[in-house]
Amino acid sequence: MVDTIPHFIGGTPVSGTSGRTGDVFNPATGEVVAKVAYASRAEVDAFVKKAVAAHEIWSNTPSPKRASVIFRMRELVVANRDKLAEVLCKEHGKTLPDAQGEIQRGIDVIEFAAGAPHLMKGEFNENIGGGIDLFSVREPVGVVGGITPFNFPVMIPLWMGAMAIACGNAYINKPSERDPSAPMMLAELWKEAGLPDGVWSVVHGDKEAVDALLEHPDVPAISFVGSTPVGEYIYQHGCAHNKRVQAFCGAKNHMVVMPDADIDQAVDALVGAGYGSAGERCMAISVAVPVGEETSKKLIDKLVPRVQALKIGPYNDADAEINPLITRQAKERVEGLIQRGVDEGAKLLVDGRGATMQGYENGFFVGGTLFDQVTTDMEIYKTEIFGPVLSVMAPSGYEDAVQMINDHEYGNGVAIFTRDGDTARDFSKKVDVGMIGVNVPIPVPMAFHNFGGAKRSKFGDTQMHGPESIRFFTKMKTISSRWPSGIKEGAQLAFPTNN
């Protein structure tokens, strides 16, 4: 008998009443370790009402006092980092160093959110005409829904939620049902930090809970991270219900290796960015594009033994480099795509299928996999595999590489490895991609800059964290003010001007 993970509503765990639950697995063993409650529409409606009431209090709390709660949360996450990482790893499967890195990136945004009062300052102009002063203010939008993915169960809720509440909103996190315990721990830490009950909620569930948030009239904003098909649905359905929506979605990230690049550095980058977290990152490098046959040969000669040597293992194995995938279905999907690549004519240099280890025979492991001679019409090139699979494209020229990147439907991240500044500058200008790395394989910006892709990697006009997030989580009011100091103009029927 396993425990059922509840919702977190009004500052306390709340058992579900829908009668529906989902299984939570240990990906390394394949065992069910818990169940998680799935909320019904009626439950979501009741939870939103509590968030609305909490927002009324929180939005009227002076911004320095809101910032002090966020400062306290930062200290609590730092103090509980190891415990949080352990909770995360048990359900996601990622290695402890990877989890620690994720948590640190969440802390970065908490630190940035503490400075939100400065970023929320409005504008003022005195005497724009006829004794009228004009000023603008930013106000919270209300209750924000955050639909977050399984691959970053700590970082993404903090990226969204810390900024949302810093702006004075209430935040309802609908995390992935696959690893719900870490988001629950975050909610408990926010309560300990002094956040008023109901400002940070956690609602578990499937599409029924998501649709309830998308359609609820008291949830004016939705932030989402996940796959492109789901993100497109979230964006269209949310907009149809008059919400502001930002959706950060799938990717197929290329890394161009120029002939002048440091090949050892490039190989290190590809191994880390391609196989870290078993490739379950939207910023993972999944396509290597060496320019020229000689570059391709050098790269592959060094890549093959490195990929063959990658060790699979559970999170508590200090030597593990590739963790299990999140579910058995994910493992089957990735192995199916590997076979699809073979069937379509790609050259399989390293095959990670059938990976297993003693004591973990039922785990959801796929080993490091490497393809060569991949072409743009193959499914393994077009699809986001979300597994430890790296494809090397057929040798091409620099301009062909740029065109290939721009022709792909995704535009999340990209990297170029070169010693030539002119090439790097030209590449950065020409590629239609949201985040670009020059000798940096995973160009995720720091918290005080904006995160977001292009093309079908993002729906909506604003970015994640950084100054753009302030614009998403607030609404602007512009106020024209004049005090009657003896002005007697009479009625003016013409359109007003500063004359």
Other beta carbons within 10 Å of 487:
9
Q: Are 222 and 462 in contact (CB under 8 A)?
A: no
d(CA 5, CA 24): 9
Catalytic residue selected from 89, 167, 249, 282: 282
d(CA 259, CA 401): 13
Asked if the domains at 4-249+457-479 and 253-438 fall in one CATH topology, the answer is no
Phi, psi of 144 (to 5 degrees): -110, 130
> In whole angstroms, how large is the CA radius of gyration of the chain?
25
The model carries a pTM of 0.95
Domain extents in the chain? 4-249+457-479, 253-438
Closest C-alpha to 201, from 145, 141, 142: 145
d(CA 28, CA 446): 31
pLDDT tens across the length of the chain (499 residues): 899 999 999 999 999 999 999 999 999 999 999 999 999 999 999 999 999 999 999 999 999 999 999 999 999 999 999 999 999 999 999 999 999 999 999 999 999 999 998 899 999 999 998 889 999 999 999 999 999 999 999 999 999 999 999 999 999 999 999 999 999 999 999 999 999 999 999 999 999 999 999 999 999 999 999 999 999 999 999 999 999 999 999 999 999 999 999 999 999 999 999 999 999 999 999 999 999 999 999 999 999 999 999 999 999 999 999 999 999 999 999 999 999 999 999 999 999 999 999 999 999 999 999 999 999 999 999 999 999 999 999 877 999 999 999 999 999 999 999 999 999 999 999 999 999 999 999 999 999 999 999 999 999 999 999 999 999 999 999 999 998 775 666 777 788 776 6
Q: Are 150 and 92 in contact (CB under 8 A)?
A: yes
Domain 253-438 is of which CATH architecture? 3-Layer(aba) Sandwich (3.40)
Output DSSP code: residue 150.
Answer: S
How far CA 408 is from CA of 250, 252, 388, 390, 477, in Å, comes to 12, 8, 20, 16, 40
Q: Give the alpha-carbon dihedral of 142, 19, 181, 210, to 10 degrees.
A: -40
Active site residue 167: no
Phi, psi of 26 (to 5 degrees): -90, 110
3-class state of residue 401 by DSSP: helix
Closest C-alpha to 497, from 129, 136, 131: 129
Helices 207-215 and 41-59: crossing angle, nearest 10°?
A: 50
Which CATH fold topology does 4-249+457-479 show?
Aldehyde Dehydrogenase; Chain A, domain 1 (3.40.605)
Question: Residue 145: CB partners within 8 Å, gap ≥ 6?
Answer: 172, 174, 213, 214, 219, 221, 222, 223
